Every structure is written in structure tokens, then in C-alpha cells.
Structure 1
Amino acid sequence: MKTLGIILIVIGIAMIIVREINFTTEKKVADLGPIELNKKEQKTVAWPLYGGIAVAVIGVVVLLASRKTAP
């Protein structure tokens, strides 16, 4: 549980710092024998600031809960 808490804290901090991820996908539109038509689409995955804060807080709660239950 301690490891899970630390991982959640690190992911939460990363989500706060990096607010979105951009990537490009390539989609095949048509294949006409030797000619191939592809379309590149740029996509963005974004999350709100409170999402990163929530993940970090949950990580702290898990970390504190694992300390109380451990002997």
C-alpha cells in the first residue's frame, strides 16, 4: 500500500505539471493499388488541474492509511 501511495503522489504531481498530451495518429483513407492515401490527425488528451490534485491527495491518504495499519 505504501508503494501505491507513492506512485499516486508522483502521478498526481506529473498531472499538475503536464496538463495535456499531444500526439499524432495516422489513418488509412484509401488504398488504390500502388497508391495509398493516409490522413494524419493531431489529438490532444487534457485533464483539469483538480484531477491531478485529487490523485495526489488520494496518494497521501493511501500513504497515511498504510502507516497506521502497519505494525
Structure 2
Amino acid sequence: MGIMKTLAILLIVAGVLGLAYGGFTYTQATHEAQLGPIGVSVDENRSVSIPVWISMTSIAVGGVALFFGGKFL
């Protein structure tokens, strides 16, 4: 399998996952205060939403790249 087909499949999979989940959440640890030997840290949950148009574009570009392959390069 060529690199173009691999990238096309990755784009399609990323687009489908973006449509299925709509985003992802991650935890960011921040250190707020250090008072001598005692430290206070706060874990914040952050979320990133993936717009539908980005997912659809990823699927479309991946489909075109998979269909045409390396014909344009």
C-alpha cells in the first residue's frame, strides 16, 4: 500500500471519528501555589470540539485521494 493510500485512509478514519465523537476531553495539570513543602495543584478538564465541516472535509479529501491515488503527483 502506498503512502498516498495510507494518508487517505487516515483522513477518512479521522473524519469518521470526528463525526462520531464530536470532540475530545483532556486533563491539564496546573501548579497554582507552592508554600514551603506544601504544594497545591489543580487538574482542569478541557474539552475540544471538532466542527462537523472539518470532519466532512476530511472524509471528502480522503475519499478523493483514495480514489485518484497518486495520479496527480
TM-score under structure 2 length normalisation = 0.83
Determine whether 1:57 maps to 2:65. no
Structure 2 unaligned blocks of 5 or more: none
Deviation at 1:55, TM superposition (A): 0.3
Determine whether 1:45 maps to 2:48. yes
For residue 16 of structure 2, what is the aligned residue in structure 1? Answer: 13
Identity across matched positions, percent: 31
Across the aligned residues of Structure 1 and Structure 2, the Cα RMSD in angstroms comes to 1.3
Structure 1 unaligned blocks of 5 or more: none
SS of the residue aligned with 2:24? strand
For residue 5 of structure 2, what is the aligned residue in structure 1? Answer: 2
- Cα distance in 1 for residues equivalent to 2:44 and 2:53: 28
Deviation at 1:22, TM superposition (A): 1.2
TM-score under structure 1 length normalisation = 0.85
- Cα distance in 1 for residues equivalent to 2:27 and 2:7: 31
| Alignment size in residue pairs | 68
- 1:27 is aligned, of 27, 30, 36, to 30
